[in-house]
Chains A and B, each alone.
Chain A
Amino acid sequence: MARERWASRSSFVMAAIGSAIGLGNVWRFPYIAYANGGGAFFIPYFVALLTAGIPLLMLEFALGQKYQAGPVGALRAVGRKWEWVGWYGAFNSLGVVMYYSVIMAWVVCYIVFSLNLSWGRDPAAFFSDFLGKTFTTSVVAGVARRTADPGAVGGISWPVVGALVLCWLSIYWILSRGVLRVGKVVWVTVPLPFLCLLILAVRGLTLPGALDGVRYYLTPDFGKLADPKVWLAAYGQIFFSIGLGWGIMIAYASYRPRTSSITNNAFITSLANCGTSFFAGFAVFSTLGFLAFRSGVPVEHVAKSGIGLAFEVYPAAISQIPFLAGLFGVIFFLMLASLGIDSAFSMVEAVVAGLEDRWHIRKRTLTRLVCLLGFALGLPFCTGSGFWWMDVVDAWFTFFGLAVVGFLECVIIGWFFDTRSLREYISSVSEIRAGPWWTICIKVVTPLILGISIALNLYRYLFVERYGGYPTWALVVFGWLVIGIVVAASFALSGSKAVVRKEEA
């Protein structure tokens, strides 16, 4: 059977951009930049983009396109013994989408909450109640403190389950007709968040105190560039933001003809992704500046990243907007939903492509099965302790899932494969040649930085501190055990009997 094809180059590029741009561009990058030297952070960020992000994206595009297969089939084509790395990447996608979809479900609920600003005067308390977060109250030195209790499951949040069903139905609907429908959907889901960001940035910059916030975001502290942690943060941000190590880009590129350009598509995807992050900083920090101004505190008191920014700080700022506050709430959460949906369905696509390449089962059936599995795996995160479990699972997939796959891809292609032939293939089909710089980045720079980052995190969470202050059992069960199961399943499936294509036999 002929492989599916994107309708056009632009559909493919839009889908790759949509996959790369996600929630992290809005809620992670601006804070990371602010915390690591402000405007000076752009220097290590661009260095990381050119020496790790773009080369690795070129590698993933090249693997998918050259072997016309998803992550599993492409790594198998590189060498049978490396197939497990393909599965590892695909399982990373499955692992992340199971809780990513739950965050999207929260976002959907918050679109509704925005209509009447349901979070009231205390968005943090509202968010905690909404999730039914489980806490343990302890008294330390006469002061009562609430700490996370991942052991008390608590009740299930039915509104979140309802929204989760909606998210998975959307994902299934988009993927059910293959990349042709994906190619159409991304023409809505990719420009929509840009439009929302633009509206939020313009509104944010016209609020009192906004320029104070932007000053925090942009004022450079060049002294920080001497700190290796800042460089590691830049490489980490680039690596996780572009969507490397998930198998997604390999799967997407596999639906392009073998003769399609690689280098320029990688540049366009990466630059669009980073350009969105850069722009999002203005929308976020102008609003934080306004909130700080209204609250009479310095910006650093309200600066947060991640879930705290989206569901606690930003709603607090929205409530203070003098005119049509609810509308800006809807726009903000609609932006998050549209940012998240194309990342979510691309993760499912990576898993489906892996299974399809291996067993040649009908893609629609596989999509249905993976969506059902993703929904079922997401249900535990809809409970009161789900938030804490999500925190641990997310950290472990980031540190020991995605980073490890990226590292292995570089080592396998750089040191156990004919890198030169792959570089020549890339150059032969691309508008921009891949020079020796690409080989150096793949062989040395990217694996070195990723290796250091993995080793540091391993050392830190094994010997120095307990992640997030959670009990050891929670870290073992939701961190190490989950990653252990993923690795074991990757090895088990790579040794399983495959339905081999005629041309392979």
Chain B
Amino acid sequence: MPAGAWIMLGFGALVLYGGLAACLVIAVRSTREKRRREDSGA
């Protein structure tokens, strides 16, 4: 495969799966934080 194809493969994977992973980390952290606050409030 030409180099351009590999570059677009890396670019696409990085944006989509990197972006998704970052959003999931934010969501998990936020949910944990919320639970911690609820527990300490109770």
Contacts and interface: CB of A to CB of B under 8 A. Distances in A.
Interface of A: 9, 38-40, 42, 46, 211, 214-215, 218-220, 261, 264-265, 267-268, 271-272, 274-275, 278, 431-432
Contacts of B30: 261, 264, 431
Nearest to A221: B4
Given A214-B1, A219-B1, A219-B4, A271 B20 contact: yes
A220 B11 CA distance: 12
Contact of B27 (A40, A219, A261): A261
A42 B7 CA distance: 11
B5 A275 contact: no
Majority SS of interface residues in chain A? helix
Instruction: Sort A-B residue pairs by CB-CB distance and give the 5 closest, nearest first.
Output: A39-B8, A218-B5, A271-B20, A275-B16, A267-B23
B42 interface: no
A9 B26 CA distance: 13
Majority SS of interface residues in chain B? helix
Interface string B12-26: 110111011001101
Contacts of A46: 15
B8 to A, nearest CB: 3
B41 to A, nearest CB: 15
Given A42-B12, A431-B27, A431-B30, A272 B5 contact: no
A40 B31 CA distance: 37
Q: Which residue of A39, A214, A264, A272 has the most chain B CB atoms within 10 A of its CB atom?
A: A39
Given A39-B12, A278-B13, A431-B26, A219 B5 contact: yes
Given A218-B5, A431-B30, A264 B23 contact: yes
| Range class of the B interface residue count | 20 to 34
A271 B6 CA distance: 21
11 contacts: A9-B27, A38-B5, A42-B15, A218-B5, A218-B9, A220-B5, A261-B27, A264-B23, A264-B30, A267-B23, A275-B20
B1 A271 contact: no
Nearest to A271: B20
A39 B13 contact: no
A40 B8 CA distance: 7
Given A264-B23, A268-B27, A275-B20, A42 B11 contact: yes
B40 to A, nearest CB: 18
Contacts of A267: 19, 23
A214 B1 CA distance: 8
A313 B31 CA distance: 45
A267 B30 CA distance: 15
A220 B8 contact: yes
A461 B6 CA distance: 39
A275 B13 CA distance: 8
Contacts of B12: 39, 42, 278
A268 B5 contact: no
B26 A218 contact: no
A211 B20 CA distance: 27
A209 to B, nearest CB: 13
A218 B1 contact: yes
Given A39-B12, A274-B16, A275-B16, A268 B1 contact: no
A39 B5 contact: yes
Contacts of B20: 268, 271-272, 275
B16 A220 contact: no
Nearest to B18: A271
B27 A264 contact: yes
Contacts of A9: 27, 31
Contacts of A272: 20
A38 B16 contact: no
Nearest to B19: A271
Contacts of A42: 8, 11-12, 15
A161 to B, nearest CB: 40
Contacts of B8: 38-40, 42, 218, 220
Contacts of B15: 42, 46
Contacts of B27: 9, 261, 264-265, 268, 431
Contact of A39 (B4, B19, B31): B4
B11 to A, nearest CB: 6
Contacts of A38: 5, 8
Contacts of B26: 264, 431-432
Contacts of A271: 16, 19-20, 23
Contact of A268 (B7, B17, B23): B23
A250 B34 CA distance: 25
A447 to B, nearest CB: 25
A215 B1 contact: yes
Contact of B24 (A218, A261, A268, A432): A268
Contacts of B5: 38-39, 214-215, 218-220
Contacts of A264: 23, 26-27, 30
Q: Which residue of B12, B13, B19, B27 has the most chain A CB atoms within 10 A of its CB atom?
A: B12
Nearest to B30: A431
